[in-house]
Structure 1
Amino acid sequence: MRSPELNDDFFAAMESSIVDVDEAQMLPPSCYADPAFFEFEKEAVFAREWLCVGRESWIPEPGDYFTAEQIGERVIVVRQQDGSIRALSAVCQHRAMLVAEGRGKTRHFLCPYHHWAYGLDGTLTGAPAMERACDFDMSRHSLPAIRVEVWLGFVFINFDPDAVPLSPRLSAVTEVLKNYHVETAEESAYPGEPSKEYWNWKVRFENSNDGYHANRLHAGPVHNIVPSALASFPDLPSDTAGYFRYNQTLHMDASFNPTLKAVLPVFPGLTPDERHRMLFINVPPTLFIVGRSETLTYNIFFVHGPEAMSSQRGWMVPPGVSELPLFKERLQMNVDGSKPIFEQDRHVDEQVQIGLRSRYANRGRYSWQEKSQQEFNRWLVERYRSHWANLQRGRQAPFSQTSRSRGS
């Protein structure tokens, strides 16, 4: 694979990836494997879009926090004394030591290196032996604040202080989830450290998007209850920040376990039509949700490099279900039933990444069952072109520069 020359022709060629799905082809393979393109993509997408980093329920009390990493930036998400949530850079403003790791509960963040102390809001409250430093003003050395927004309990951050709010552009997705009442659903325990994966984030995101492979790669009695041929793709607003597809099932309350049916109580607000399908939701670039009648499953993606990412997976069920007899055992039936599917997908992601590095990798054509890929391409190409145009006009400094200027 040759590194692409980023020029007007390169981005113009992406037009063929956003036309009608029956005519469209995939993005150039270099978009998935080339380090130089990933550096461009970090600026075009990850420095300016809303990135999911976790769940509000992970930090229920004041002082609770968790850390997350996107594109090399370590972030702290912490519950304030007034109940609000703030996102802060985890980088100490003295010598760049990380002031927090993992998750926990604290009254303040203390840098273990030189004991600079920061309040929950990021304000520098203590800096030992700095009284001789000329013109040292503690108020100028707070942890940089990062924009944060919560949508249906999912916590998103945005490195761009001028970014357009997320929730209004997710109105269609919010509506399709209405009868699940996500705001009151019970959640599985904190899912632990993200699992490491060694492929491009778009490979993983597209696999999650893709219903075309479902009855082929996953052929068998469990996944055959959701035929690829019964997929449908609703029209959504042009400015939507998320996409979804329906997939009808062969019977009501279908589920991926040996019984092929729900083994937990279903979400009580679902209509008969909703109980007769599965729901696949994508909020690019970092969140994927699957809705069945008995569970909502989410995957949060963390992007680290051109061929490096990690993900966290969690479950949600109707209120009170976790108190029922044999709840853990029934939930485990669904976890175990999905595990072979998950492992097949991981193997494919690994092999696709190898193929994308090849000089023989092609810009393949799509089936109608892959319309989600064309929708994803449209979301991406709009951002690629916008950033390229701004770079050409000199209107947009690289993220590294804007970050330094905000923190100086």
Structure 2
Amino acid sequence: MPARLPAAGFIASLDSSAIDLSEAQTLPPECYTDKDFYEFEKEALYYHEWLCAGRESWVPNVGDYFTTQIVGEPIVVARGRDGQVNAMSSVCAHRAMLVAEGSGNTRMFLCPYHHWAYGLDGRLTGAPAMEKTCNFRKEDHGLTRFKVEIWQGFVFVNFDMDAAPLAPRLTAVTDAIAHYDLANAEGERPREPGVFPWNWKVMFENNNDGYHASKLHQGPLHDFVPSERAEFPDADPADAGFLRYNGTLHPDASFNATQRALLPVFPGLDETDRNRMTFANIPPTLSLVMMSDMVIYLILRPTGPETMEQDTGVLVAPGASRHPSFAHKMEMNMIAAMHIIDQDMHVDALVQVGLRSRFAPRGRYAWQEGAQIQFNRWLVKRYRETYDRLTGPAVQPALTTA
């Protein structure tokens, strides 16, 4: 439980960020800057929601593993001898040494400190010199296991072993992106995470903001996907994800100087898919930008109230990477994409500076920011439920937008 909970009035004030778009306010600046709120947010979101850790393709063989950290929790994901993907704390059950770093292939996880050994499923298999320790049973001292679910080739973990399954709450998103067949898409693992000086929600909001696209990114690398063609399908805040669509001026639009797909188009796409970009979001950790020939995925990991890491990866159609010109065409795409991303990151950094100001507002929304309301409703539902769980349902919903 966080040491200090938000004030009851503060929680009540969040409701005005989750009402109709035409009347809603942005979230309070403290949601992006305050250390105590960040601790509350860990309990509200990260300790009970499904969190994207990576791609299943990163552990194709038995014994393959990779490590990551989410809100400071060290995680190891490994392919077990039964072929199943396991996710566990990488903290040794003896003295808290990390038993795994980086990625690779192994027969077991051996703590380098005292040589406690763990199987690929986290079970303790060896504990030297523990025979004189009273009431010690190896089966009681394995690595802490997490729930695992594979969705569209992404590995999701949940620290809460009682959490409801992920897939049933992603039906609308799954149906909307089914033609991409992301489970079979190709893409190398990102090399190093980006480290950024802003709150994770600043990044998540920017990636789903239809309003800024034709302003900040005005020019030949983005004009084919105008803001006025943004669409925001309804989403239930109880669901695990939401969508944004943006119509394009021509089919198979893509981020490069030609404005058209250079790589092979995902083979299952229909005419509707090929005439828009789709933005699929599974907060708090995964955001997808989907074009006809390329999908960019962002895996977000907060490291503090005003800092975060992010894995940025690319997926392409099966077989696309084997074409002799693939590397050159991908380079063309990434030059354009990085130009746009650089613009976004400059803005994200300055937004975080602004959010620290004593004059930071609770602003109002334009209709092209519909995805922000979907996000707010997802957040506020979980903030309020967690506050009620920790204190009792004493805070009544706000009745005004003031």
- Which TM-score band applies after superposition, normalised by the shorter structure? over 0.9
Give a deviation string over 1:201-258, Cα, whole Å, max 9, x none: 1111111111111111111111111100110112234532111111011111111111
CA distance in 2, matches of 1:227, 1:181: 26
Aligned residue number for residue 386 of structure 1: 385
Report SS of the residue matched to 1:10.
helix
Alpha-carbon distance in 1 for matches of 2:137, 2:354: 54
Is the Cα–Cα contact under 8 Å of residues 53 and 302 in structure 1 kept in the other structure? no
Which residue of 1 is the match for residue 374 of structure 2?
375
Which residue of structure 2 aligns with residue 131 of structure 1?
Answer: 131
AA matched with 2:11: F
Secondary structure at the counterpart of residue 214 of structure 2: helix
Counterpart for residue 398 of structure 1: none
Whether the 8 Å CA contact 2:179–2:269 is kept in 1: the answer is yes
Whether contact under 8 Å (2:251, 2:275) holds in the other structure is yes
Counterpart code for 1:330? K
Quote the residue 1:249 is aligned against: 248
AA aligned opposite 2:72: G
User: Contact 1:119/1:125 (CA < 8 Å) preserved in 2?
Assistant: yes
Deviations 1:268-324 (A, max 9, x none): 221222111111111100000011111111111112211121111111111211111
**1:178, distance to aligned residue in structure 2 (A):** 1.3
- Cα 1:180–1:5 change in 2 (3 A) is closer
Q: Which residue of 2 aligns with 1:98?
A: 98
Task: Say if 1:68 and 1:75, in contact at 8 Å, map to a contact too.
Answer: yes
Rounded Cα–Cα distance in structure 2 between residues aligned with 1:135 and 1:269: 58
Query: How big is the shift at 1:135?
Result: 2.2
Deviates more, 1:8-17 or 1:231-240: 231-240
After superposing the two structures, state which structure 1 stretch, 83-92 or 190-199, moved more: 190-199
Structural mapping, 1:10-159, within 5 Å? 10-159=10-159
Which residue is equivalent to 2:396?
none
* Aligned twin of 2:314: 315
Q: C-alpha separation between the residues in 2 aligned to 1:161 and 1:123?
A: 17
Distance in 1, matches of 2:190 and 2:132, equals 46
Identity %: 55
User: What is the alpha-carbon distance in structure 2 between the residues aligned to residue 258 and residue 170 of structure 1?
Assistant: 34
Tell me the equivalent position of 1:301: 300
Partner of residue 191, structure 2: 192
Return the alpha-carbon distance in structure 2 between the equivalents of residues 14 and 72 of structure 1: 26
Provide the rounded CA distance (Å) in 2 between the counterparts of 1:256 and 1:288.
17
Decide whether the 8 Å contact of 1:125 with 1:138 is kept in 2. Answer: yes
Contact 2:152 2:182 in 1 (8 A): yes
Moved more, 238-247 or 294-303: 238-247
What displacement does 1:53 show?
Answer: 0.7
CA contact (8 A) 2:224 2:250 kept: yes
Cross-structure match for 1:358: 357
Which segment is superposed worse, 133-142 or 77-86?
133-142
1:82-140 superposed Cα distances (whole Å, 9 cap, x missing partner): 11111110000111010001111000000111111111111111112222222222221
Distance in 1 (CA, whole Å) between partners of 2:111 and 2:363 is: 50
Q: 1:55, 1:155 within 8 Å by CA — same for their partners in 2?
A: yes
C-alpha distance in 2 between matches for 1:46 and 1:182: 25
Q: Check whether the contact 1:282–1:288 (CA below 8 A) recurs between aligned residues.
A: yes
CA distance in 2 between counterparts of 1:19 and 1:240 reads: 17
Structure 1: segments with no counterpart, 5+ residues: 395-408
- 2:400 corresponds to which residue? none
Aligned to 2:397: none
- Asked whether 1:224 is paired with 2:202, we answer no
For 2:104, the aligned partner's letter is: G
Distance 1:29 1:152 in 2: 34
For residues 129-160 of structure 1, the C-alpha deviation after alignment (integer angstroms, 9 at most, x for no partner) is: 22222222222110010111110111111111
Whole-Å separation in 1 of the counterparts to 2:355 and 2:235: 31
Q: Please give the secondary structure, in 2, of the residue aligned with 1:224.
A: coil
By how many angstroms is 1:5 displaced?
7.5
**Are 2:280 and 1:292 equivalent residues in the alignment?**
no
Deviation at 1:182, TM superposition (A): 1.6
Measured after TM superposition, the shift of residue 58 of structure 1 is: 0.2
Q: 3-state SS of the aligned residue for 1:130?
A: coil
TM-score (norm 2): 0.95
Q: What letter is aligned with 1:83?
A: G
Supply the AA of the counterpart residue of 2:279.
F
* Maintained 8 Å contact 2:237/2:374: no
* 8 Å CA contact retained: 2:5, 2:37: no
* Count of matched residue positions in the alignment of Structure 1 and Structure 2: 390
In structure 1, the residue matched to 2:203 is: 204
Q: How far 1:7 moved relative to its partner?
A: 2.4
Asked if the contact 1:170/1:240 (under 8 Å) is kept, the reply is yes
Distance 2:105 2:372 in 1: 41
User: In structure 1, what is the Cα distance between the partners aligned to 2:35 and 2:238?
Assistant: 29
Q: Distance in 2 between matches of 1:36 and 1:291?
A: 35
Residues 125 and 5 of structure 1: is their aligned pair in 2 closer, same or farther, counting only changes over 3 Å? Answer: closer
Whole-angstrom CA distance in 2 between matches of 1:207 and 1:128: 51
- Confirm or deny that 1:239 pairs with 2:238: yes
